[in-house]
A and B are shown apart, each in its own frame.
Chain A
Amino acid sequence: MAEQYSTPAKLVLEDGTCFEGWACGAAGESAGEVCFNTSLTGYQEVISDPSYAGQIVTMTYPHIGNYGVNDADLQNDKLFLSGLVVRSMCYTPSNFRATSTLPALLEEAGIVAIEGVDTRELTRHIRDHGAMRAVISTVDLDDQSLLAKARASRSLVGRNLAGEVSHPAVEVFPALDRDGRPSATPRYRVTAVDCGLKRGILRGLQMSGCEVTRVPWDTPAQDILEREPDGVFFSNGPGDPEPVETTYQTVRELVGVKPIFGICLGHQMITLAAGGAIEKLPFGHHGGNQPVMNLRTGVVEITSQNHGFGQVFSSMGPIVPELSGGESSHHDDLRFWSERRIAPVVNNERYGRIQLTHVNLNDGTAEGMAFLDQPVFSVQYHPEASPGPSDASYLFEAFCRLMDGRSDFLDINTTGNRMEREYLSSSSILAKEAR
């Protein structure tokens, strides 16, 4: 592969901002929406997360690639991101788990990457001016030409990227016991609708005792029901949820029929199914340090997040004062509720009472909801982390409780002994490797 600092590369944003650097991945050119991720570890999970399809990811931590790459930590067998921007790429990693280097992985996967960029300046730029389209190139270094290409590139809005990243084939994954061994007698059978399903989620479901049947994003409800699952899961996925209509129509057909759990794009699918609105966030949430309060327990989880679009909670229906601490109006900043430790309930036209269960404490956006009249709940963030803290891994257990028909499915005490639930998190990979 190419040597470090041997091939110049350039990143040009649609507003004309230009960064020079060196190629540190595949040669070529790629366009996408540039976003930043603030995780200190977990670059491998980030780049292999299908939710980054169509995006050029900027890592804010400057040294990337330090511990190399390995197969176990990949979140998908293919990389879908449009490009990677880092300050300093490591070509000589050090970690006993490493089987290759990050630049080699990028090159093999054909992902264009650039290093030597002042990623802080770039991040501040995106923060202040919003996410925007950009082009990375190792073949064309002309600012004007790249600017024109950036402006000509397709926006994320209105594109159905889930369809591009979903596995076309149906596959069954066994339930796993606490040591990660396949279990002959699964506690639950779950159908997971793959809009860009991360392996971390799959593993979380398996470790919590679910045999998982992964089906493509556009699988009709009838096909799902024919499998007679105990529950249906709607996965994370890239980009704009609006065009993924087939999937949220499927949700509509399943609500009230099967217990449903959604993560990230899955949460947005359920929102759209309920007639709620989605907005594009200025620069999204991408990182592993977002504080989210579970309004039903009052405990704060440090969460992993990756989304550029979010639910507008007030669009879900009018507030039900008697179930919302006597408050009768919506508040744009949902920290109004977390400060009062109230989990407000709205009356949704289609599905009845819906409770806001999780709020982001950084910006007061909605992070999770539970239907009170149907067995449905969903979160905007990532309980499987991968990468990130495993504080929210209890949500896999919550899904199991939901399938058991329990109404207290979200009221799980996560403090006290965090090691107890570690088997649900990605760190359980280590125990398996040690075995």
Chain B
Amino acid sequence: MPRRDDIKKILLIGSGPIVIGQACEFDYSGTQACKVLMEDGYEVVLVNSNPATIMTDPAVATRTYVEPITPEFLKRIIEIEKPDALLPNMGGQTGLNSAVELAKSGYLAEHGVELIGCSLDAIERGEDRKRFIETIEGIGLHCARSGYAYSVADAEKIASELGFPVVLRPSFTMGGAGGGIAYNIQELRDIVAQGLDLSPENEVLVEESIIGWKEYEMEVMRDKAGNGIVVCSIENFDAMGVHTGDSVTVAPAQTLTDVEYQHMRTASLAILEAVGVETGGSNVQFAVNPKDGRLIVIEMNPRVSRSSALASKATGFPIAKAAAKLAVGYTLDEIVNDITKATPACFEPSIDYVVVKVPRFTFAKFHGTDETLTTRMKSVGEAMAIGRTFDEALGKAMRSLENGRAGLGADGKDSFDDTHFKTKLTTPTEERIYYMAEALRRGYGVDEVSRLTGVDPWFVGRLQHIVDVEHLVSLKRLPGLTRQDLRLAKETGLSDVQIAYLTGSDEKSVRARRKELGVVPTFKTVDTCAAEFQARTSYHYKTYEGTESEIKPCDKPKAMILGAGPNRIGQGIEFDYCCVHAAYALHDMGYETIMVNCNPETVSTDYDTSDRLYFEPLTYEDVMDIVDVEHPDGVVVTLGGQTPLKLAQSLEDEGVTIMGTKPAAIDLAEDRDKFSALLDDLKIAYPASGVANDPDEAKAVAARIGYPLLVRPSYVLGGRGMVIAYDEAYLMKHLTEAAQVTPDHPVYLDSFLEDAIECDVDALCDGTEVYVGSILEHIEEAGIHSGDSACCTPPFTFSTRLVNALRECTRKLALAVGTVGLVNVQFAIKDMTIYVIEVNPRASRTVPFGSKATGVPLAKCAARIMAGEKIADLHLPPEDRTLDHYSVKEAVMPFGRFPGADVILGPEMKSTGEVMGIANDFPAAYAKAELAIDYSLPTGGTAFISVNDDDKREVLHVARDLKNLGFSLIATEGTARALKAAGIPVEAVNKASEARPNILDRVANGEVDLIVNTPYGQETRSDGYQLRSAAVRYGICYVTTMSAANAMVLAITAAQDGRLEPHALQDLDQWEPAKPTPEEMVRK
């Protein structure tokens, strides 16, 4: 059946900002969907508030709205664009929920918009537990025994029938938010209370515990003719009880007999049919009792998901692309398998390798939160690895995590808690897998470790093999290792760093020895068919096996782009965006582009983003192995964040040509002493600073430059471990307890410019000319990490003189440092003086936002400059042109996922993602950004104000404005006194630490709509902490800085005035760099 011609214009809703449980996998799937629909001649209208996505590039859709994903905006966009259809299942839970809301209210029907891919009824049957369970039982399958609770008392009653532990799942929440396992009545009460609140239906499912069972996922597709296929099966390493997003997972399933697997397959397809998924991809999760094989259906998601992205990368089967085609009428047999180009997509991929996914956590940023893994997802990213055996894939995945480890322990960085060793085995945490390996090293048997952890003996058996090989290696010194020894070590997934540690050598010596003995890897292909047919795409992985590599020769010059690795806080989708742009630009210039990355969620790891894809860890060893077979003419290291940047010098040392900014320039910008000297030469001001190798030196530096001080470890990303010290006591406490300062790891102490205004500048430099792409004025004052600060471009309070001075300063710096490509400069402006905080000789996280705000694709331009073009060749618009719109970027915080951690902003970055608001003025743009995060703005009701003494003067006009906007005000005693003195009516309430009823009760009762609370200095477990935690828990809009309070007042005003009209990016000025002329094309 061919495509539908009765629909012309299709609305697609993205997933909004990156949050835990909903990350860049939806950029990958959304981009695929948009591209394939556009190719097929459909007009695509896209709504997504996340600017750091490829899908929101103006060329990807016909009309792109970077607008809040709220019913109001969606309705307004539907009125403007009049789409014929809405494809709801490409944008994660956010996209799906929005579509459901529009459909349920009858709005879609009224406006003639057809829901394609999945009917409302099917979505509801999949998502509404009650109907889902009925459906499952109806076809003779089973769910866990359960009951619904609408109150804590209900939950207690059901739990008493089922017996503890029970699993709690609030209805209609994303990534299992608000869910958990209760082992006792107190935990039950806590989780249910929160879950009822988070569930839009105020409903929590209380379920029989199947903790310890084996967990599986099936990625299934169906077309309208009823054809169904299973694209991939995934087996979780961790047993039931750990959210699948937090589990180590393995594809394909490893421990099922064929009859069990086929039963699960039939069940998956039958579930899609019964739920009524008409077309597209779904994910079905199962639990299997390891004792008797009893099969329980956990859930199904009638949409593309994190797992479908993983399955696509694991098999080479593009699920999202196929799903989009199925939604417009094609059947699976009509879609060609991209990889073979000769067989249809209506088949089930067979793979001849093992895929392991490992989650990436960032608990260190959220002190005080419980690190136990539960049914509620806590990881912020993931790495995937491919190997011919599980051992090899696991080893690669473990060293892909960018957590400083070189594999599954045995790298010199193991440290174990001997007193709680067994507890560490029984409790699922980020580090448990290291404890499992260690337990096996210490002589616990496979059965014992399996019993303590619930992990299937097959997996534990593989770990046993890995530690056995480790042991074998450790018995010798490097020169004593034979070819067979080294081969065995490499086949088992040990990294050169691990072998170096085990044999008392170093990485480079191991590499040299390996090559001398001929122990070098081969490269195989991901081809969907286990080599049955020839692959037309070049999607490769490395393995130690055989002698045959499948790398095609090529006579074009080759450019290799190093990606950003797993998402984590501080390094996310923004860098993937830059790498993808580089791949596009360099391909257009005539290069054979080679992408190296290990993040399965991304667009960069789509096999058709670059000419060749290597799904490999971004370590020296793994990158050099690829260099050895591809011999690239140049390597791009400055677009993937800190990960590839760290490799620049060692790659150059091996004779690799680094494209763009050279390692020496990178070093100049990152070495504080060299950089300070440079700034002195250029007569550019910077905060007084010093380096300390121990606490005493730190004291001396502090005495010289004075408090407050910004304290930071060397070479960090995302402000990891950064604090502001207001006095010596705090500084000493921090340096002795948290920072562990040593001569190897010195700390930098900078004078902290309190109340300074910060700004980010992203610029291009070709070595002789500099083009300032965007100047971003931060909303929050200095002291808040730039990644967590809201910002606006063009600057909304800067004078022309200041803007010119910033450009001039950027120009000087970019040239002096010697950058070629992108450069980011962070400034602080205080008392009319411009201070340089830092220069990053690489793409920054604001590049996608800046590119969208200004219409100039900076990353693409940078790639062309790195390939030798000049800025003049690109014919960019004048940098001082006037833009007729303002763009605001706001950060999205994950605090709701980390109960217990303080929710205050500081110099250490904590946000997971960002949104963008575009409007004709700053307040409206800011209002949109806030709406994009919270989905609503407080427009009236009660505002609670409690500010520190320094802010008591400034808060007066905020309070007055709020009053004028119709808010009634309540405040703690000190603030109330100040307001009353200024003649502003206010009611005083007790602080959290004072007698009840106090402010926490008011918050809990839903009597507060907006909280303005500025903390002082280093307060921790204080009143403010409790208040902010309550705000997060009850979803109340809160601001913690005066500048944000000011902006919020402006935003509420703009919203009340009705100034929030949607804008399509295509209506704003967009620039594409001039196409390379034939002379400019590169040749070998």
Residues on A facing B (Cβ under 8 Å): 36, 38-42, 44-45, 60-63, 66-67, 70, 72-73, 87-88, 90, 92-97, 118-121, 123-124, 127, 287-291, 293, 298-300, 302, 338, 361-363, 385-390, 413-419, 422, 425-427, 429-430, 433-434
Say yes or no: B252 contacts A40, CB within 8 Å: yes
Residues of the A chain whose Cβ atoms lie less than 8 Å from the Cβ of B446: 92
Say which one of B289-297, B560-568, B860-868, B1048-1056 lies at the interface with A. Answer: B289-297
Say yes or no: A299 contacts B227, CB within 8 Å: yes
Whether, in the assembled complex, B225 has its beta carbon less than 8 Å from a beta carbon of chain A, the answer is yes
Say yes or no: B258 contacts A120, CB within 8 Å: no
Say yes or no: A418 contacts B352, CB within 8 Å: no
The 3 closest A-B pairs by CB, nearest first: A415-B226, A118-B546, A42-B258
Q: Which residue from chain A places its CB closest to the CB of B488 in the assembled complex?
A: A5
Say yes or no: B258 contacts A289, CB within 8 Å: no
Give the residue of B273, B348, B353, B522 whose beta carbon is less than 8 angstroms from that of A418. Answer: B273
Say yes or no: B229 contacts A419, CB within 8 Å: no
Whether, in the assembled complex, B263 has its beta carbon less than 8 Å from a beta carbon of chain A, the answer is yes
Give the residue of A70, A72, A362, A427 whose beta carbon is less than 8 angstroms from that of B533. Answer: A362
Q: Which residue from chain A places its CB closest to the CB of B227 in the assembled complex?
A: A300
Say yes or no: B532 contacts A38, CB within 8 Å: yes
Residues of the B chain whose Cβ atoms lie less than 8 Å from the Cβ of A119: 352
Assembly CA distance A62 to B541 (angstroms): 15
Q: List 22 A-B contacts (CB under 8 A).
A: A41-B253, A41-B257, A60-B530, A63-B254, A66-B254, A66-B255, A73-B259, A92-B457, A97-B257, A97-B260, A119-B352, A123-B531, A124-B548, A299-B226, A389-B262, A415-B273, A418-B266, A418-B273, A419-B140, A425-B266, A430-B259, A430-B260
Assembly CA distance A62 to B534 (angstroms): 19
In the complex, chain B residues 242-266 whose Cβ is within 8 Å of any chain A Cβ? 252-263, 265-266
Say yes or no: A302 contacts B347, CB within 8 Å: yes
Number of interface residues of B (CB under 8 A): 69
Give the residue of A97, A123, A389, A425 whose beta carbon is less than 8 angstroms from that of B348. Answer: A389
Assembly CA distance A298 to B458 (angstroms): 41
Instruction: Give the distance to chain A from B697, nearest Cβ to Cβ, in Å.
Output: 54
Known: A120-B531, A415-B226. A95 touches B348 (CB 8 A): no
Assembly CA distance A63 to B256 (angstroms): 12
Residues of the A chain whose Cβ atoms lie less than 8 Å from the Cβ of B342: 362
Residues of the B chain whose Cβ atoms lie less than 8 Å from the Cβ of A127: 531-534
Residues of the A chain whose Cβ atoms lie less than 8 Å from the Cβ of B332: 300
Instruction: Give the distance to chain A from B313, nearest Cβ to Cβ, in Å.
Output: 17
Q: Which residue from chain A places its CB closest to the CB of B350 in the assembled complex?
A: A38
Say yes or no: B273 contacts A287, CB within 8 Å: no
Say yes or no: A390 contacts B531, CB within 8 Å: no
Residues of the A chain whose Cβ atoms lie less than 8 Å from the Cβ of B258: 39, 41-42, 44-45, 73, 385-388, 426
Say yes or no: A38 contacts B529, CB within 8 Å: yes
Assembly CA distance A150 to B869 (angstroms): 60
Residues of the B chain whose Cβ atoms lie less than 8 Å from the Cβ of A67: 255-257, 458
Known: A287-B350, A291-B346, A300-B332. A419 touches B139 (CB 8 A): yes
Assembly CA distance A93 to B257 (angstroms): 11
Q: Which residue from chain B places its CB closest to the CB of A43 in the assembled complex?
A: B258
Say yes or no: A417 contacts B270, CB within 8 Å: yes
Residues of the A chain whose Cβ atoms lie less than 8 Å from the Cβ of B532: 36, 38, 60, 123, 127, 287
Say yes or no: A418 contacts B293, CB within 8 Å: no
Say yes or no: A66 contacts B259, CB within 8 Å: no
Q: Which residue from chain A places its CB closest to the CB of B464 in the assembled complex?
A: A92
Listed residue (B263, B269, B531, B547) with the most chain A CB atoms within 10 angstroms of its CB: B531
Residues of the A chain whose Cβ atoms lie less than 8 Å from the Cβ of B693: none
Assembly CA distance A252 to B252 (angstroms): 45
Residues of the B chain whose Cβ atoms lie less than 8 Å from the Cβ of A66: 254-255, 458
Instruction: Give the distance to chain A from B348, nearest Cβ to Cβ, in Å.
Output: 4
Say yes or no: A40 contacts B350, CB within 8 Å: yes
Q: Which residue from chain A places its CB closest to the CB of B223 in the assembled complex?
A: A300
Whether, in the assembled complex, B228 has its beta carbon less than 8 Å from a beta carbon of chain A, the answer is yes
Assembly CA distance A197 to B546 (angstroms): 37
Listed residue (B255, B390, B545, B548) with the most chain A CB atoms within 10 angstroms of its CB: B255
Say yes or no: B531 contacts A389, CB within 8 Å: no
Say yes or no: A302 contacts B257, CB within 8 Å: no
Whether, in the assembled complex, B152 has its beta carbon less than 8 Å from a beta carbon of chain A, the answer is no
Say yes or no: A417 contacts B388, CB within 8 Å: no
Which secondary structure characterizes the binding site on chain B? loop
Assembly CA distance A87 to B389 (angstroms): 9
Whether, in the assembled complex, B351 has its beta carbon less than 8 Å from a beta carbon of chain A, the answer is yes
Give the residue of B225, B269, B350, B390 whose beta carbon is less than 8 angstroms from that of A63. Answer: B390
Q: Which residue from chain A places its CB closest to the CB of B254 in the assembled complex?
A: A66
Assembly CA distance A36 to B260 (angstroms): 23
Residues of the B chain whose Cβ atoms lie less than 8 Å from the Cβ of A338: 333
- Type the 1/0 row for B493-534, where 1 means its CB is closer than 8 Å to any CB of A: 000000000000000000000000000001010000111111
Assembly CA distance A118 to B948 (angstroms): 68
Residues of the A chain whose Cβ atoms lie less than 8 Å from the Cβ of B140: 419
Listed residue (B258, B267, B446, B461) with the most chain A CB atoms within 10 angstroms of its CB: B258
Q: Which residue from chain A places its CB closest to the CB of B257 in the assembled complex?
A: A67
Known: A60-B530, A96-B290, A419-B141. A299 touches B458 (CB 8 A): no
Whether, in the assembled complex, B354 has its beta carbon less than 8 Å from a beta carbon of chain A, the answer is yes
- Type the 1/0 row for B210-251, where 1 means its CB is closer than 8 Å to any CB of A: 000000000000000111110001000000000000000000
Whether, in the assembled complex, B760 has its beta carbon less than 8 Å from a beta carbon of chain A, the answer is no
Whether, in the assembled complex, B349 has its beta carbon less than 8 Å from a beta carbon of chain A, the answer is yes
Known: A63-B254, A118-B545. A94 touches B457 (CB 8 A): yes
Q: Which residue from chain B places its CB closest to the CB of A88 in the assembled complex?
A: B389
Give the residue of B229, B233, B273, B293 whose beta carbon is less than 8 angstroms from that of A430. Answer: B293
Residues of the A chain whose Cβ atoms lie less than 8 Å from the Cβ of B194: none
Instruction: Give the distance to chain A from B455, nearest Cβ to Cβ, in Å.
Output: 10
Assembly CA distance A120 to B541 (angstroms): 13
Known: A73-B257, A289-B350. A96 touches B274 (CB 8 A): no
Assembly CA distance A94 to B139 (angstroms): 30
Known: A121-B548, A422-B263, A425-B266. A300 touches B273 (CB 8 A): no
Residues of the B chain whose Cβ atoms lie less than 8 Å from the Cβ of A88: 389
Q: Which residue from chain A places its CB closest to the CB of B140 in the assembled complex?
A: A419
Say yes or no: B530 contacts A417, CB within 8 Å: no
Say yes or no: B266 contacts A300, CB within 8 Å: no
Whether, in the assembled complex, B344 has its beta carbon less than 8 Å from a beta carbon of chain A, the answer is yes
Residues of the B chain whose Cβ atoms lie less than 8 Å from the Cβ of A390: 262, 265-266
Whether, in the assembled complex, B427 has its beta carbon less than 8 Å from a beta carbon of chain A, the answer is no
Instruction: Give the distance to chain A from B464, nearest Cβ to Cβ, in Å.
Output: 9
Say yes or no: B531 contacts A361, CB within 8 Å: no
Residues of the A chain whose Cβ atoms lie less than 8 Å from the Cβ of B261: 40-42
Whether, in the assembled complex, B343 has its beta carbon less than 8 Å from a beta carbon of chain A, the answer is yes
Say yes or no: B530 contacts A123, CB within 8 Å: yes
Listed residue (B253, B259, B348, B353) with the most chain A CB atoms within 10 angstroms of its CB: B259
Known: A63-B354, A416-B273, A434-B292. A41 touches B256 (CB 8 A): yes
Residues of the A chain whose Cβ atoms lie less than 8 Å from the Cβ of B574: none
Residues of the A chain whose Cβ atoms lie less than 8 Å from the Cβ of B265: 389-390
Residues of the B chain whose Cβ atoms lie less than 8 Å from the Cβ of A44: 257-258
Say yes or no: B548 contacts A60, CB within 8 Å: no
Say yes or no: A94 contacts B456, CB within 8 Å: yes
In the complex, chain B residues 878-904 whose Cβ is within 8 Å of any chain A Cβ? none
Residues of the B chain whose Cβ atoms lie less than 8 Å from the Cβ of A70: 257
Say yes or no: B548 contacts A291, CB within 8 Å: no
Listed residue (B266, B343, B354) with the most chain A CB atoms within 10 angstroms of its CB: B266
Say yes or no: A299 contacts B257, CB within 8 Å: no
Say yes or no: A418 contacts B343, CB within 8 Å: no
Residues of the A chain whose Cβ atoms lie less than 8 Å from the Cβ of B349: 289
Assembly CA distance A277 to B768 (angstroms): 75
Q: Which residue from chain B places its CB closest to the CB of A72 in the assembled complex?
A: B259
Known: A299-B225, A299-B227, A417-B274. A121 touches B547 (CB 8 A): yes
Say yes or no: B262 contacts A427, CB within 8 Å: yes
Give the residue of A73, A385, A416 whose beta carbon is less than 8 angstroms from that of B226. Answer: A416
Residues of the B chain whose Cβ atoms lie less than 8 Å from the Cβ of A429: 259
Say yes or no: B227 contacts A419, CB within 8 Å: no
Instruction: Give the distance to chain A from B462, nearest Cβ to Cβ, in Å.
Output: 9
Assembly CA distance A433 to B293 (angstroms): 10
